[in-house]
Structure 1
């Protein structure tokens, strides 16, 4: 019997009577979509993991409060949203500033692909069908205060009616609508101007070719070649390391000052995260006789030019399903 069928057989009082394994089966099928929701709220994959676990714990402890006035999924979304707000109040009372998010972490596409196919209006489908999982969106969202952030995500991404969001937040519909207007205005101030032209999803041939050239030039530490692929207003960041470089000259100068041109022994593996092309770089280590993880560059491409590079450290390799090492060339 499916989890939905099992739930349909339960009356309101019956949900409080189910055993823990049965309840876990009801909640587990929503894990990935709830994780994406929490990730969008928090910007951190690890914090989203913890918050989903907290959501399931709260749901189990409060199972008798489920009255059937909404779907079981919506009930879980309410709990997850409140768990995110609680974490933000405790750990990040102030939103991000300055165009960078130091706690930002990548989300592997292979996990986004776990979301079941469904109807276009279902939350888990909308969660990745719209361009609200890409890093630029995540960064913009993190610049909003927590409650307007929750309003924006629930209204514009998940598609909840204003009255349901108001009930969740203990607010009026007018307050929710006002918060949504402010949040949308805040997003416009932080999202790329060309966002309406993003394609998302599958990468076209031009993008794939640009990523190939970027990879080759990076392995060759060809700074001039890389610079030619950057748009004038390119942005470059490396969370959790503070510092945002804006503009081709600033980015190139940063590469030169960091000694990138003298780096020898690089290899690369193509991957994708947050529905964007990404390149994982490995550096040859004599002591290990192997190429070991170095960094991951996540690219945003617009009109045939690179408009953003977000670089993550080697601690993200395992989560992205990347090899822990590459053998010497010719020995694979």
Structure 2
């Protein structure tokens, strides 16, 4: 098979590696290694499966090799903050030919499966996300069919325990809803004005904010507002704020910029990805400004 045919599958392989690794950056490295191995092993492709399936097998094993080098993480009640390598995925880079449903790319799902043993994670992704039969999954992972079925049951049990109860309602979602866009607009406007009162009304009482890069976690509306207050308003406020909206992992997101007193430009501070339920923000996952280039967003703006 030609290199050009392998390249046709690059974007969907990137999404697959992202699910396995939880990191956009590491997924890029994994796909590059997949392409290299496919080129080196081109003469081993015997046509017993589709070329696409053969590439997925290589990509999965590349990811397993990378995961073997990681230290295990302990699953707590705040899985989003337990995964320091977790990164957002720009919706504009999702393959157009695949209907990537929110439930298979959403941050909470990715965070929880990062805590599964590597092969159990691979089984869950291949069976429940890619829809591969147990026999093909077993062959790819060099497991028995009974062990694949057992791993899938254990993985599903972990998801049921730690994922939001209403997650099944996200299955058909491939972009933020009209309601989510309205909430995002109100959130941005209130943030830019440092309107803490309005921000309070937009948060669920049990809302959480997680910051995977720093592994910080703020449970509840009060804890979130207390963390925001010195940054946004009153004594010690950082400065004037601006925002650029986008979408990440099939959810509304906003890049935040601040211009401190005496500066000419606004500097990127972070990227907030919002999970919204019934018109209220249930979850905010905050990433550092280093994630913005993947979204085509600048590090500095002037207005």
SS of match in other structure, 2:103: coil
Aligned to 1:235: 208
Deviation of 1:287 after TM superposition, in Å, equals 6.1
With 314-323 and 93-102 compared, the bigger mean Cα shift is at 93-102
SS of match in other structure, 2:186: helix
Q: Does 1:317 align with 2:292?
A: yes
Aligned to 1:245: 218
Aligned to 1:77: 56
Aligned to 1:105: 87
Decide whether aligned partners of structure 1 residues 59 and 139 sit closer, same or farther in structure 2, where only a CA change above 3 A counts.
Answer: same
- CA-to-aligned-CA distance 1:136-181 (integer Å, 9 cap, x gap): 1111211211111000000000011001111111111000000000
Aligned to 2:112: 140
Q: Which sections of structure 2, spanning at least 5 residues, go unmatched?
A: none
Aligned to 2:265: 290
* CA distance in structure 1 between the partners assigned to 2:57 and 2:250 by the alignment: 26
Paired residue total: 295
Q: Select the structure of larger CA radius of gyration.
A: 1
Deviation of 1:225 after TM superposition, in Å, equals 1.8
Aligned to 1:60: 39
Aligned to 2:163: 191
Aligned to 1:216: 189
* CA distance in structure 2 between the partners assigned to 1:202 and 1:52 by the alignment: 25
Decide whether aligned partners of structure 1 residues 65 and 105 sit closer, same or farther in structure 2, where only a CA change above 3 A counts.
Answer: same
With 316-325 and 168-177 compared, the bigger mean Cα shift is at 316-325
Aligned to 1:122: none
Q: Indicate if the aligned counterparts of 1:38 and 1:81 stay in contact, CA closer than 8 A.
A: yes
Aligned to 1:203: 176
SS of match in other structure, 1:241: coil
TM-score normalised by structure 2 residue count: 0.92
Q: Indicate if the aligned counterparts of 2:210 and 2:218 stay in contact, CA closer than 8 A.
A: yes
Q: Does 1:160 align with 2:132?
A: yes
- Partner residue of 1:46 out of 17, 25, 29: 25
SS of match in other structure, 1:255: helix
* CA distance in structure 1 between the partners assigned to 2:35 and 2:296 by the alignment: 25
Q: Which sections of structure 1, spanning at least 5 residues, go unmatched?
A: 1-6, 8-22, 118-124
Deviation of 1:284 after TM superposition, in Å, equals 1.2
TM-score normalised by structure 1 residue count: 0.85
Aligned to 1:173: 145
Task: Report 1 or 2 for greater relative contact order, CA contacts < 8 Å, sequence distance ≥ 6.
Answer: 2
* CA distance in structure 1 between the partners assigned to 2:263 and 2:29 by the alignment: 34
Deviation of 1:129 after TM superposition, in Å, equals 3.2
RMSD (Å) for aligned C-alpha atoms: 1.6
